[in-house]
Structure 1
């Protein structure tokens, strides 16, 4: 993280009462506040030289205003910011963990009928992983999520797919179709030849059990040249 930014110092109490983040939250609701203001409320206090807004601004600057990066920052990165100690670092990490669990709970009750919806379902689950992980989403006849589970986690660029484990759980939980998903820590979601070959084997196994594999979605990171952060093998007609 870049620690070079030195923001303008002021105290939140220097602001008119109606402009202070906490008062604005009570009056207008969270949607009316900037990300910086919401972070300042979570931080609660600043230091004698830096307001909570100053510290929030620094945190966002250090992660290029990318909340996903901030959510996965480790304690060393957080506490490197002046005004963030062990307690505030733990508070931030707890808030982000709760937000992730809330998103997971919401996705468990969602309809997953397209590659974009599958990517949205898995995006947070793969957010901070440094190795490849394979997960399976179980769906009913209406493409409603019945839940998902991790099959395996392996070395970067090498995740073995175990058909027996995948379909055993699918049968136990009454799934009528499944979606595979895994991450590419390199950021490039383009499938390898091994990804395609392993997926085709899973498609054949699903045909035997009458539990079709409807897609295999690979998650990476979006870039200016590659605005989508996922790749769908079904959409690309590779399965």
Structure 2
């Protein structure tokens, strides 16, 4: 009887088993120790259950500049991202993945807003600034929001008053004050963003703020501050002595 000659096992492609190995490293070493692209991969595994998503995770970070940029990207912009996987096949984000990432951003925004709503806004200013950065610093269009507060300076409502272009969102002081009366608000914090990244107030920003303050003062409604968010930080009108 002749000895059978063992057939060498065909080497597996490197990416096979990658998902399991990455999950094990995340469990054993902690999520905080993963680089951004691997953390993003873990999330992509859920909406893209098969194939190599590492190139797509890296493409998202390249396209939007950072993890926070990915989380703030619009669904439409995410759908434009493509990457070539290890098999040479083109892989796109797809509607399901884009929706999942947008949902994750909304979860993060609401969690940050919860921190603002727990205590009087004046006493939780650090949480407010963190929320403003998360909600607005990567918005591609100018957005004008109002945080309406009660007589104890606790949050009643965070509302988007208007969305505009890359450098302008029209604001109507009478509409801002009218909404405050509807909500029985006693104070407000004005918030908007500069998609250019520079949070420095413009002349138009300063003039508009004065108009809102004057309209609110006539009805005994206080404006605590006007915050402008940009990729380079958050500017406070009060700290600049502009109100």
- Structure 1 pair 238–102 and aligned structure 2 pair: CA distance change class (3 A): same
CA contact (8 A) 1:137 1:147 kept: yes
Q: Is 1:89 matched up with 2:94? A: yes
Aligned length, in residue pairs: 216
Q: How much is the aligned-residue C-alpha RMSD, in angstroms?
A: 3.0
- Larger CA deviation: 189-198 vs 94-103: 94-103
- Structure 1 pair 194–52 and aligned structure 2 pair: CA distance change class (3 A): closer
Distance in 2 (alpha carbons) for counterparts of 1:95 and 1:161: 32
Pairing partner for 1:131 from 128, 141, 146: 141
CA contact (8 A) 2:40 2:57 kept: yes
CA contact (8 A) 1:21 1:38 kept: no
Distance in 1 (alpha carbons) for counterparts of 2:163 and 2:59: 35
CA contact (8 A) 1:12 1:53 kept: no
Per the normalisation by structure 2, the TM-score is 0.73
Distance in 2 (alpha carbons) for counterparts of 1:104 and 1:61: 23
Q: Is 1:217 matched up with 2:227? A: yes
| Counterpart for residue 100 of structure 1 | 105
- Structure 1 pair 184–55 and aligned structure 2 pair: CA distance change class (3 A): closer
- Structure 1 pair 143–21 and aligned structure 2 pair: CA distance change class (3 A): farther
Q: Which 5+ residue runs of structure 1 have no aligned equivalent? A: 1-8, 223-228
User: Cα distance, 1:138 vs. partner?
Assistant: 0.9
Larger radius of gyration: 2
User: Cα distance, 1:12 vs. partner?
Assistant: 5.0
Q: Which 5+ residue runs of structure 2 have no aligned equivalent? A: 1-12
User: Cα distance, 1:177 vs. partner?
Assistant: 0.8
| Counterpart for residue 14 of structure 2 | 10
Q: What SS does structure 1 have at the residue aligned with 2:242?
A: coil
| Counterpart for residue 81 of structure 2 | 78
- Structure 1 pair 75–144 and aligned structure 2 pair: CA distance change class (3 A): same
User: Cα distance, 1:233 vs. partner?
Assistant: 0.5
After TM superposition, the structure 1 = structure 2 runs for residues 199-218 of structure 1, keeping only pairs within 5 Å, are 199-218=209-228
CA contact (8 A) 2:138 2:231 kept: no
Per the normalisation by structure 1, the TM-score is 0.74
Q: What SS does structure 1 have at the residue aligned with 2:211?
A: helix
| Counterpart for residue 237 of structure 2 | 233
Structure 1 stretches of at least 4 aligned residues deviating more than 6 Å after TM superposition: none
Q: What SS does structure 1 have at the residue aligned with 2:159?
A: strand
- Structure 1 pair 103–39 and aligned structure 2 pair: CA distance change class (3 A): closer
